[in-house]
Structure 1
Amino acid sequence: MKFNKPFKQSGVATIAILLFVGVAISVAVFGAFRAVEGSQSQAMTFHAQTQAQRKAWIGVDITSKYLSSLSSDNLETLIEALPSKSDSELSQQKLNAEVGDENIQLYIYKEEVGGDVFVYAEITGEAAKNSKAHATSTIEAVFEMQQSSTTETTSCSVNRTAVMRGVTNLTGGGTNFISGDALSDIAVEGSLTLGSSSKSGISGCASGDVTMSGGGIKDNATLLVGGEFKVDSMSQPNNASVWARDINIGNTGSGDYNFLRAGAYTTTVLDKTGIVIGKGDVGGKLITSTTKSSLPWISGTLIPTKNIPFVIEMDTGGQLLVDLSEAIIDEVSGFVTGHKYEVLEGEGSLPSTLQFEANNISGGSINIYDLNVNQLWGHSISADGYGANYNTVLSNGDFNMGAGDIGTLVGGGNLTASKGGCNSSSNCWNTPSFASPSEIAGLFNVPSYSGSVDLNNLTQQVSHLSPGLPGIPFCDTRVEQVVAEDFKTSANYIFEEIGTKRQLTIQNVTLSDGTELDGVYNLLTDDMRSFNGQQFLTCGWGNNHCFRDYSVWELDGISAFPPGVAWFDSSLKINGVGSNNAVSGIGNDLLNTLITVGNVELTSSGHGDIIAPNFDVVTLCQGNITPTNLCNQSGELVGDDNSGLPIANSAIVSEESLDVAGWSINGHVTLGSGITTTGAKVIINGGLVVGSNSDASTTVGQGGLEVNTQNLSEDQLQTSCTNDNGTNESTGIQLKGSGPIWTRYL
């Protein structure tokens, strides 16, 4: 066997084949490397784009927060400075904000459409600068501006012991209003007369005149009066305060007052362009350079008061309550921004900038005699007598004074010593004395002496001197209208006439044995005197049926009436309560909220008290008859905090009036019309509202009326609101919503 030697070129071919295979492998490897590198580059570019978009959205958020944070006047200034959308140099107008990120660019401009203002922001985000993956993303965001206005639901908590809308005459000898620390006594819409009630005392406010011919002002109390405060006779107060349009105390005895204030400027209200938008009586001080009258100053541009709200009558017919407590007032121009307002009547709104031009005086007359007053402030002041003591006197006009002591006087007119006399300029008597340096714009004079007289610590004819006026207080008597139908679903017992059928609908009521009483019953045929042996509804001073012998809803001689909320579709008369066997341990009291479409009459026949259900929790929730919408299964009031259903804090809610003779009522009383008390004293341990549906009279007889909220808990002060009474507040222009109304990528 022979083995032939291989040809030499066979080795070369093998090497060539291996070489080609190696090259192919290298190409594949290098291709793979390039593919991986390209994929990584794509990933890096995609990531950079995502980061750029993220930066742009961060810029949108920054812009939203920036615009939201600006005050009204700063935002208005910014908007006025921005170019319009049609401007060709938008890129030169950058948002005036410190972004703190060099990868975010912000450009801002505006567009006005039909009175509405829209702010446009172009926000560009960048990522991976100075690299091949550099990316940008631009978002256009549009923000809408609006006049700042919010709607707030009126609080359902009692904030006045008594609100009386209409002519109010308090003549009962024991009339009294007693408030807790957070409440003031009364608010009267209209005039108030306090008559022969020598023991009565008041604090609070009235929109009209207040006439005192008996009683008095409580010690340390404040009485705000939209009209004249007039005293014929009254118990002299201790450290009381009166703020009114005019004050006439006269020679009615001594008294000690913290302050007596009266008067305002009659003003026209302008926007920032000088267009008249309304008028109002406003307190404040005139800008010296704008005064347009001889002494005393009564006209010019006003720096309005921040101390009290005031009403503007709009030229468009609306009535607005304006609050300047947080406003910004330019004391050079008088321009006012940052104000708040509420619509009282009609419709209307205020521009972001206001100005007040005074043209006359409203009220400001003060007539007193020998009082001790810490601050006396008005326009035309007459303080007669010989022994007065006034710590501070601010007289916008002339000041006529008898003999007495003054701490400091700032007078915008003349000072006259009405009791004084002089033999010479250096020998005078019965003239005021000044403890501290004082100034008047006019002259001091003594009527019986024609020469000039100088007084120690008094500088006369001081130029540019006027203390201004305090303003006229606003008495807020706004209450919710009573609509009995709104409470029908909350009632446990609904008494109504359907055609000729007098029926009772029972809702959410069980007996202690678990029996449910819900249903509709015919009061003329069904026996409602008891259920399963438990007395339920009996009258006639015994075990008789109720509501069978009368043409109205009359409870005559109650022997049993179930606890809870009772609703009546017309008037209700309660003529005596002998006992209440439906509620154990309550004697002859009623544990109810009584709601009526018509009047309520509580006669003087023998009776106990009316107690609002929530005011006696144990008896209500652990008795033999339980309203399950008022009480939970644990025997407590409903609610997460066991505060109870608010309507059950009321004892009487009526669309009409209340005629009551000598009852004690524990719970709130809300009346659509008036109230008349007769006989013995009427006591209401709760809040009282009179005239919520229409102005009505309040007449208190000789027995008197006591309304007391002093001992009520925070939960018991809650009442049931059925409507949302909004209050519109304006602080000028602001961002609408919390961000842009729309966005898009550019």
Structure 2
Amino acid sequence: MATVLLLLLVGLTLTVMVLGSSAYLRQQQVYTLSNHAQTQAQLKAWTGAELVRQYLQHVRQQGQWTQLMGATFPQTLTLQGEGVDGVVEAQLTAVNTTAKTVTAQIVGMTAQGSPAEARVGLEVVYALPGSGGNGEEGTGGNGGTPAQPDHRVITFSRNLKLGGSINVLQDAGAEAYEISVIGDVSTDGNSITGVKKITSTGSIRIGSGSSFDELHANCDVFIDGSVTAKTINARRNACVLGGASVPGVLRANGSAKLESGVSQNGEVYARVNPEDVGACAAPGYSPPWNSAAASTCTAPAVRGVDLSAGSAGARQVQTAGDVTLASGTVTALTAQGKLTVNSDATVAGGRVGGTVSKPNWNNKINVQVTSGLVVDVSAVAKVEVAKETFNANDVRHLANYVFFVNAAGSKKVVVRHVAGIQDGEYFLADYDSGPYKDRLCTKVTGSGSSVRCADPLPAQSITLCKGYSEYNSCFAFNSKTQTWSINGTSAAPGIAWFQGNLEVGNGVYYNTFIASSNITTAGGTSVYAPNYAGYSGRVDGVQYAPTGVCENSYFPGLSPTDLCDKAGAKYLQTGLEGLGNYAMLAGSRSDENYADLASYVGGNITLGSSAYIYGSVKAGNEFTSGGSTTVHGYVTALAQGTAAKNSMGGSTTFDLRNLPKTMDPGGGKPGTPGTGGESTDPNAQVQVQWSRYL
């Protein structure tokens, strides 16, 4: 019996071992199958992600990105490709019009209907080329926070001609303000005060009696008259003529010519090796009188430093080329080339690598000739100005009021997020009789420009603008010029978007005015950007505006809910993606091909005399001011359309003193965010910005 029991125990042990091994093998097979299925599902999901990217790339290349931004989501995509039909599902779930990103959810499947079926979910955010951002806000984009404070009070993407008096007023101790231009900067006998720095990707020509901390150009810097520039940086040549002076440092990658004496000029460095200046106008170029291009220095007579005019001199001269002197003084000189002295000049000390030519009687040239002397002059850095874009169509959906004319010629307005008015589309018309002008109504009689409100109870109807009297209309539309005009006491506060041109006449307005084409002002116009006026016009005990956006004495029952927290009595300056920082924005296009300037619509903003703008201004193309104009903010002109001429004449003042904390004049830029905006290269690729498994 003991033997039988032992055999039974051994048999039982073997049975357990066999069953255990069988179970282990089965488990490993299941694990391997599951892992393989999961891997295949992941592969399908990522294949789908690439197909979605290719689809978005196609949308961009076809110029349909704007339409996609305005589409209704979610959108289901049908993906076709080798190995994906029926095993990959994809949906576009959301877009971010600010950062220009699209979010998609992709599901990859394998072994459907079998025990090995596996599914993998993937969420991917795709970004338009050059859009930057973090998937929600782009640096410097709509409502985005700039990486550093922006002190470019004037930023133009095309040649800028300054005339009359340009004055920038700033708080004591404020950062230096700058004019930044993609192109040339020129002046026409005007004065510029309060601007410390001008940067240009072309040439700078200043002939006014102004003073600057720095002038920096990728081509020439040409100053004369009584101009003083503490620092000049020129990637080609610098010419400082007449009574102009550079008391600090002048650096030129090419050559330098100065005419002031040693007491007026500091250090002068000339590299005699200008780089990357093929796009510069020819030396000695003189533009037509009506052009905004800048004059350039004449071809250097001396390849190095030319001090041949009278008593021209400098405290220090260092050049890889030659130096010519007349009767001026140089305290310290180092030149790789030769030194030519034409009169009784003085050189206190220095070295040259070439010859010394001077009158025999001049004993004041104390230099040593060092054969083979090499002088290394550091190069001037290139000016880089970020290229930005703006399209009014991209922000239309954010507006509180969208004004347009329908096919029949009737004025209409879409109202969105305004306390006191139900969201919807309304006719903008008068009643047949009584003091009921510019009323919102849903029932009308007549057609086209003769349409009249037919809603009952006209006394309870809502108007969006107050005329000069109850019997005066405020809104008008010229069908021939496609121009809206506003003339009245004030308009309902908030973001007002207009299809076509816009002329803002007399009145005091608490709005961001956006036009798909051009904007002009006429008469005594005052526009307070919402972020400037704030909740009630009063911020931290200071009265910045006669009334506010949320508490508005003209329209006490109407307020934009995106900007006004009435329950908490707070103003929401970050609402509407930073649009509230702007008083005016103009220009649009129907696609994303910003390289096609001829297809850009409008974008020109013209401020007439006696215009007072409390907020920043962004022109999609060009900006012009004249007469007595005051802007409490920054001005940007993006040159996205055909060229005319950016100009500022008369008296233009940028008053940046004591701005309310609710306003950021250089922040919340409604355009393509990032460093340089959206890429216009048709071959630039839509990219995956981030992804995660669901």
Q: Which residue of 1 aligns with 2:609?
A: 661
Alpha-carbon separation, structure 1, partners of 2:631 and 2:131? 37
Q: Secondary structure of 2:651's partner?
A: coil
- How far the C-alpha of 1:162 sits from its partner, in A, is 1.3
CA deviation after TM superposition for structure 1 residue 625, in Å: 0.7
Instruction: Report the counterpart of residue 433 of structure 1 in structure 2.
Output: 348
**Gap change, CA 1:382 and 1:375, over 3 Å in 2:** closer
- Which residue of 560, 572, 578 maps to 1:646? 578
Q: Equivalents in 1 of 2:632, 2:6: separation in Å? A: 103
* Counterparts of residues 55-454 of structure 1 (less than 5 Å): 152=132, 155-156=140-141, 157=146, 160-176=152-168, 184-200=177-193, 202=195, 203-218=197-212, 221-237=213-229, 239-257=230-248, 259-263=249-253, 363-370=254-261, 371-379=264-272, 380-384=304-308, 386=311, 388-391=313-316, 393-402=317-326, 409-420=333-344, 430-434=345-349, 438-446=350-358, 448-449=359-360
Structure 2 equivalent of residue 539 of structure 1: 467
Please give the secondary structure, in 1, of the residue aligned with 2:506: strand
- 1:192, CA displacement in angstroms? 1.9
Is the 1:535–1:560 Cα contact (8 Å) retained in structure 2? Answer: no
- When Rg is computed on C-alpha atoms for both structures, the one with the higher figure is 1
Is 1:487 aligned to residue 395 of structure 2? yes
1:631 aligns with 2:581: no
Match of 2:647 in 1: 699
Instruction: Output the CA distance in 2 between the equivalents of 1:728 and 1:440.
Output: 50
1:509–1:518: 8 Å Cα contact kept in structure 2? no
Match of 1:155, as an amino acid? G
Which residues of structure 1 form unaligned runs of 5+? Answer: 1-20, 51-148, 264-362, 421-429, 578-588, 730-735, 740-746
**Are 1:172 and 1:705, in contact at CA under 8 Å, matched by a contact in 2?**
no
Aligned partners of 2:469, 2:414: CA distance in 1, in Å? 24
What's the CA shift for 1:707? 6.3
Sort the Cα spacing of 1:36 and 1:557 in 2 relative to 1 into closer, same or farther, 3 A: closer
- RMSD of equivalent CA atoms: 4.3
Q: Structure 2: how far apart are the matches of 1:707 and 1:478?
A: 25
Q: Does the aligned pair in 1 maintain the 2:330–2:346 contact within 8 Å?
A: no
Give the alignment of 1:11-30 within 5 angstroms: 21-30=1-10
Instruction: Compute the displacement of 1:381 (Å).
Output: 0.8
Q: Is the 8 A contact 2:166 2:653 kept in 1?
A: yes
- CA contact 1:174–1:681 (8 Å) conserved in 2: no
Q: What residue identity is the alignment partner of 1:162?
A: I
Aligned in 2, Cα 1:536/1:365: closer, same or farther, shift over 3 Å? same
Aligned counterparts of 2:28 and 2:641: Cα–Cα separation in 1: 67
Contact 1:162-1:707 at 8 Å conserved across structures: no
Aligned in 2, Cα 1:32/1:441: closer, same or farther, shift over 3 Å?
Answer: farther
What secondary structure does 1:721 align onto? coil
Q: Distance in 2 between matches of 1:386 and 1:548?
A: 65
- CA gap of 1:625–1:728, structure 2 versus 1, over 3 A, is closer
Aligned CA distance change for structure 1 residues 644 and 517 (closer, same or farther; 3 Å) = closer
Displacement, 1:566?
Answer: 1.2
8 A contact 1:194–1:215 mirrored in 2: no
Aligned to 2:300: none
Q: Deviation per CA, 1:436-490, whole angstroms, max 9, x where unpaired? A: xx543212321x2499x9965x44233261325624633525221x332222212
Q: How many residues align?
A: 481
> How many angstroms apart in 2 are the aligned matches of 1:25 and 1:523?
107
Tell me the distance in 2 between the aligned counterparts of 1:208 and 1:669: 24
Secondary structure at 2:234 match in 1: strand
1:621 and 1:177 map into 2 onto residues whose CA distance is 29
Measure the CA separation in 1 of the matches of 2:490 and 2:652. 30
How far does residue 645 in structure 1 lie from its aligned partner after superposition? Answer: 2.7
For normalisation by structure 2, the TM-score amounts to 0.59
Judged with a 3 Å threshold, the aligned counterparts in structure 2 of structure 1 residues 251 and 560 are, in CA distance, closer, same or farther, namely closer
Q: Distance in 1 between matches of 2:520 and 2:690?
A: 54
CA distance in 2, matches of 1:626, 1:212: 47
Residue 622 of structure 2 is matched in structure 1 by: 674
Question: Within 1, Cα distance between the matches of 2:388 and 2:130?
Answer: 19
In 1: Cα distance, 2:680 partner to 2:374 partner: 38
Deviation at 1:509, TM superposition (A): 4.2
Contact 1:638 / 1:644 at 8 angstroms: preserved in 2?
no
Provide the rounded CA distance (Å) in 2 between the counterparts of 1:545 and 1:737: 50
Uncovered stretches (5+) of structure 2, i.e. residues with no partner = 31-128, 134-138, 273-303, 440-458, 536-547, 588-602, 682-687
Distance 1:450 1:43 in 2: 112
Structure 2 vs 1, CA of residues 546 and 439 (structure 1 numbering), >3 Å: closer, same or farther? same
- Secondary structure at 2:337 match in 1: coil
CA deviation map 1:78-129 (0-9, x unaligned) = xxxxxxxxxxxxxxxxxxxxxxxxxxxxxxxxxxxxxxxxxxxxxxxxxxxx
SS in 2 for 1:25: helix
Same amino acid, percent of matched pairs:
17
Which residue among 515, 530, 542 is the counterpart of 1:613?
Answer: 530
Distance 1:40 1:556 in 2: 88
Do the aligned partners of residues 151 and 719 (structure 1) sit closer, same or farther apart at CA in structure 2, a change above 3 Å counting? closer
Determine if contact 1:685/1:708 at 8 Å carries over to the other structure: yes
Q: Quick check: 1:554–1:575 contact (8 Å CA) kept in 2?
A: no
After superposition, residues 699-718 of structure 1 pair within 5 angstroms as 699-706=647-654, 708=656, 711=659, 717-718=667-668
Deviation at 1:499, TM superposition (A): 2.8
Shift of 1:664: 1.7
Match of residue 492 from structure 2: 562
In 1: Cα distance, 2:331 partner to 2:25 partner: 81
**Distance in 2 (alpha carbons) for counterparts of 1:247 and 1:614:** 43
Distance 1:46 1:652 in 2: 72
CA contact (8 A) 1:479 1:692 kept: no
Q: Distance in 1 between matches of 2:325 and 2:384?
A: 31
Pair 1:30–1:709, CA change in 2 (3 A): farther
* Partners of 1:594 and 1:652 within 8 A in 2: yes
Q: Which amino acid aligns with 2:559?
A: T
- 1:205-260 deviations in whole A, cap 9, x for unaligned? 12333222213232xx22211232222313434x3343342111123155412x21
Q: Structure 1 CA distance, aligned partners of 2:181 and 2:334?
A: 34
Provide the TM-score with structure 1 as the length reference. 0.56
Shift of 1:663: 1.5
